[in-house]
Amino acid sequence: MGSDMKKRKILAEKTVDELRRLYPDASCSLDYDDPYFFLVRAILSAQCTDIRVNKTVEELKDIAGSAEEVLKLGEERLGEVIKPCGLYRAKAKNIIKTTSIFINEWNSKIPENIDELVSCPGIGRKIGNLLLGELYGIPALVVDTHFKRVTKRIGLTDSDDPSRVEEDVCEVTDPSVWISLGHMAVAFGRDICVARSPKCGICPLKDFCRGKES
């Protein structure tokens, strides 16, 4: 093992330990009802708060309570319902395409492997990994904007490319922590290591974080 890898492993261990102390109960803030509507929530969550997504999906379910009914709504009507989540035209298009694949190709069961998931338009690695972790408990790392920022500042990666960040962090952490590490990093990125003016003064990671601001 190279010395850089060794250093990153130690850094990763310290990071996981501190995040566990801060967020022992970190979990996904998207509500879970059934696998299909969880997938819808995941697609809607791009650039939108989980609170708004959860509320909008409840409204959607009052109108269309199953994948078949969502498909029947069609892009335009679906777009009107999900408008509060933003980017609604693209999201409606993705949801309709994905719903059709879910029903007709996946036999109404979300696949348990990432390659099949990302072959579906509208599902990238972030959503694919979220589904694997939350639906099946399969170790998978969800790299969102908070995760990317936090891990780069700390020094676990030098990359801004989500796939590379995922690779770098997976390389130095045990698969058993991947699901919770994603949730903990998001909570930490919202509370302390915020995008602008991170709260380094009160941050428990400041003794080993390379990105701390004085």
Radius of gyration from C-alpha coordinates of the chain: 18
Of 70-78, 160-168, 171-179, 194-202, the window that binds ligand SF4 (rule: CB under 6 A) is 194-202
Q: Mark the segment that binds ligand SF4 (CB under 6 A) among 73-81, 123-131, 164-172, 206-214.
A: 206-214
Taking CB under 6 A as the criterion, which residues in 148-177 touch ligand SF4?
153-154
| C-alpha count within 13 angstroms, C-beta hemisphere, residue 103 | 13
Closest to ligand SF4 by CB, 124 or 211 = 211
Please answer whether residues 98 and 119 qualify as being in contact, where contact means their C-beta atoms are separated by less than 8 angstroms.
no
Q: Is 40 in the site for ligand SF4 (CB under 6 A)?
A: no
CA dist 205 and 214 (Å) reads 13
121-132 in b/e form (b: 16+ CB < 10 A) is ebbbbbbbbbbb
User: With binding defined as CB under 6 A, does residue 123 bind ligand SF4?
Assistant: no
- Residues in contact with ligand SF4, counted by CB under 6 A, come to a total of 13
Tell me: does residue 209 bind ligand SF4 (CB under 6 A).
Answer: yes
Contacts of residues 76-80 at CB distance under 8 Å and 24 or more positions apart, as own/partner, are: none
Binding site for ligand SF4 (CB under 6 A): 153-154, 192-193, 198-200, 203, 205-206, 209, 211-212
